[in-house]
Amino acid sequence: MIAYLTTEQFLPELQEEIKNIKSVHGNLIIADGPVQDSVWAQQIWLNPEVITFESITQAAKALKERGKLWACYSVDNHRRAQLIQDNLPKLKPRIMDFLSPLPSDPLGAWTLLDKNTLLVSSETNSVFPLGEIQFNEDKKNPPSRAYLKLWELFTVYGVKPEAGQKVVDFGSCPGGWTWVLQQMGCEVVSIDRAPLEPHIARLPRIHFMKTNAFTVKPEDIGAIDWFFSDIICYPEKLLELVQQWQNSGLCRNFVCTIKFQGKTDFATLKKFQSMEKAKVQHLYHNKHEVTVWIKTSSP
């Protein structure tokens, strides 16, 4: 048995991808094991077990026996769940600084299936409460909150370019991703039909090209270390652009946002998933979109 947690917005997507579903509790799906690859799960509960209890004290004791720190996913019986959580060691907020080390203390997750039944998992795939990743945000420099997607990818997943590397940022306006990449020490070719915010454009190591990303040929730019794209376009158009750059041999590392127009395009999503060394994940800071990264070379 494995449990997969998402948000209400993406529960249909999670139900579409998870096989052998046994039950659904709010936004938590319980399915047969082993663990399935999931794009849409915000957190995966790796060793869930069902525990019956009679009292609040008994429930808290069962959790303490299995781990020190716990995050509660409350579906029903909210007051009862809170009373149990209040009897556990207090869980402090895990708010991250950009590129800081991840928390090392194990963190379990639990919920009430009914008033006398716990579902608990002392192991999950995330060190953040219910997979909710929070940062000490920079509210001054980035021109939009899109930068948080790269902060999450670089900090939590460790997928990032190195200082001095040459990168392209497609669909860069107003400049959130370009700002992050410049702060990383990269040489950034920033491409969009709309201009960057002036305070971003003035930063060193940024070369802005005011043009349509889909008209730029790989040979126009030459060899780069990383391809970044947060372009608003249909998924199949993004796939064509990525494949064009892959086939050119001028870039081997890719980070892209696949943005869905209306319904989720599962067919194109599966094509991205089938690409060699590709990882696709709905990040906590993604909206109706997912992030794909392909890292095939080291600095």
How many CA atoms lie within 13 Å of 277's alpha carbon, on the beta-carbon side? 11
Q: Give me the torsion for CA of 200, 260, 265, 269, rounded to 10°.
A: 20
DSSP assignment letter at 204: T
Over residues 199-204, mean pLDDT? 96
Consecutive H or E run containing 38: none
| Helix, strand, coil share of the chain (percent; to 5) | 30, 25, 45
Domain with CATH 3.30.2130 in the chain: 2-131
What pLDDT is recorded for position 298?
Answer: 55
pLDDT tens track for 151-187: 999 999 999 999 999 999 999 999 999 999 999 999 9
2-131 topology per CATH: VC0802-like (3.30.2130)
Contact by Cβ (8 Å): 289, 279 = no
Burial 175-202 (b: 16+ CB within 10 A, else e): bbbbbbbbbbebbbbbbbeeebbeebee
C-alpha–C-alpha distance, residues 85 and 87, integer Å:
5
Mean pLDDT across 185-210: 96
Instruction: Answer with the residue of higher pLDDT: 33 or 55.
Output: 55
Q: Where are the beta strands (DSSP E) in the chain?
A: 2-5, 21-25, 28-31, 43-45, 49-52, 70-72, 95-96, 108-114, 117-121, 134-135, 166-170, 187-192, 206-210, 226-229, 253-259, 278-281, 289-295
137-295 belongs to which CATH class?
alpha beta
Confidence band of 299 (pLDDT split at 50, 70, 90) = very low
What mean pLDDT is predicted for residues 191-197?
95
Query: Considering the entire predicted model, what is its pTM?
Result: 0.94
What pLDDT sits at residue 33? 86
Q: Rounded CA gap, 246 and 240, in Å? A: 10
At residue 297, does pLDDT exceed 80? no
Give me the pLDDT at residue 261, please.
87
Residue from 159, 165, 215 nearest 188 by CA:
165
Is the pLDDT at 141 greater than 70? The verdict is: yes
69 within 8 A of 91, measured Cβ to Cβ? yes
pLDDT in tens, 97-121: 999 999 999 899 999 999 999 999 9
Gap between the Cα atoms of 49 and 32, Å rounded: 12
DSSP code per residue over 140-167: SS-SSTTHHHHHHHHHHS-----TT-EE
Task: Please give the order of strands across the beta sheet that includes 21-25.
Answer: 21-25, 28-31, 2-5, 43-45
Q: Do 111 and 72 contact (CB within 8 A), yes or no?
A: yes
The yes-or-no verdict on residue 9 having pLDDT over 50 is yes
Task: Tell me which residue of 65, 48, 47 sits closest to 57, measured CA to CA.
Answer: 65
Q: Is 247 exposed, middle or buried (0-12, 13-18, 19+ CB in 10 A)?
A: exposed
Domain boundaries for CATH 3.40.50.150 within the chain: 137-295
Residues 243-273 have pLDDT tens digits of: 999 999 999 999 999 999 889 999 999 999 9
How far apart CA 140 and CA 119 sit, in angstroms, is 42
Q: Which residue has the higher pLDDT, 93 or 63?
A: 63
Q: Which two tokens stand for residue 128?
A: 């953040």
| Average of per-residue pLDDT values in the chain | 95
Long-range contacts of 183-187 (CB under 8 A, 24+ apart): 184/154, 184/160, 186/161, 186/162, 186/226
What whole-number distance in Å separates Cα of residue 51 and Cα of residue 63?
Answer: 10
